[in-house]
Structure 1
């Protein structure tokens, strides 16, 4: 497939994600709430890093927690030791980023909760994950990860809404309203 094919597939994948029941996201959100997480760290390289940056403000708003975005090589012991327990989400659209895997392993060794977000399953980064939050977009073999980027951003946003729901800061009507706004936006994307 060509990059254009993946771009044309993106709206359909995003719309499908809105209708899926995601027990994986709810379990991770529940753990975040029950285990005293005080911050979220998103880590990945390239498109994964930029997807995390895009989702950051939405996540901070709905999770009511600080959200940091770090390149995997910056997740050293000093960074990971700062301010309490974290949920560290390793992102790799292809699932095989060794630098992301190493950052997740360091985080887990220090006692943080880890989650993986890859566009394939099983993924290499899943080995260091307490929670596997697969991005349901399917493989993307072209160099530029267009579909994977958009689906990763949405996956992070859906995780944030699950956290807000677990913390009872988002009721069913508010959630439906947000998802409807997303659906309208995705329906306007070119196909």
Structure 2
């Protein structure tokens, strides 16, 4: 996992440097939609919630974030056709079955779709109306690190472009934060090494949780 953590600086810098190319496929018809629906799960869902918090008030648009399961079976968002809606799906691998089903429901109801994935040949990339390729590479481990930060950055820049907001100051802030990543990672490692008692506490909590989970 540390390999992917350490790759973040290069990955994020590359996204910033290629912003125009990465977002060049966005159609003009998607500009200034009245309602954005984002569906994702796991770390991609956390990335979506973070971007929603950062941007919703600034763009003056309603941003709805749902899991694929919620969106398919309980939420009316995709089942009510509306020309001002836009569905954005997030999946680093581009293979989520639930997300694929959301894309089909949106298409059935004439809601345009954008997919952000790290694989432009994935099923989700092919199914969506527009695909944004996120150049972060594969990350075959459970906890996502470079995939999470790459999703936040790509989604943030994309929504700003959809609402025709200047990204110059944001890009400058991101560059500064990204340049500080290596030293922040080292500080975090050092803190963990100096507070290794947390490891034993974590194991205790895991044991308690397992016991509770086995209760009938």
Q: Scaled by the length of structure 1, what TM-score is found?
A: 0.85
For 1:1-191, what aligned pairs fall within 5 Å after superposition? 3-23=1-21, 25-28=23-26, 30-33=28-31, 37-76=33-72, 78-82=76-80, 84=82, 85-165=84-164, 170-171=165-166, 175-190=167-182
Distance 1:27 1:10 in 2: 24
* Alignment size in residue pairs: 180
Farther off after superposition, 12-21 or 22-31? 22-31
Distance 1:122 1:27 in 2: 16
Q: Secondary structure of 1:89's partner? A: strand
Distance 1:29 1:7 in 2: 33
How far residue 79 of structure 1 moved from its aligned partner, in angstroms, is 2.3
Q: Secondary structure of 1:112's partner? A: coil
How far residue 82 of structure 1 moved from its aligned partner, in angstroms, is 4.9
Output one character per residue of 1:94-152: Cα deviation in whole Å (capped at 9) or x when no partner: 11101111111111111101011112221111232011012111111122221101000
Task: Structure 2: state its 5+ residue gaps.
Answer: 186-216
Farther off after superposition, 15-24 or 108-117? 15-24
**Structure 1 segments of 4 or more deviating over 4 A?**
none
Describe the shift of the 1:18–1:144 C-alpha distance in structure 2 as closer, same or farther (beyond 3 A): same
Describe the shift of the 1:83–1:108 C-alpha distance in structure 2 as closer, same or farther (beyond 3 A): closer
Farther off after superposition, 75-84 or 57-66? 75-84
Which structure has the larger Rg?
A: 2
Distance 1:26 1:153 in 2: 18
Describe the shift of the 1:158–1:100 C-alpha distance in structure 2 as closer, same or farther (beyond 3 A): same
Output one character per residue of 1:59-105: Cα deviation in whole Å (capped at 9) or x when no partner: 32454311110001122472224583311111111111011111111
Distance 2:19 2:99 in 1: 27
Contact 1:29 1:159 in 2 (8 A): no
Q: Which structure carries more relative contact order (alpha carbon 8 Å, separation 6+)?
A: 1
Please name the residue that 2:204 is paired with: none
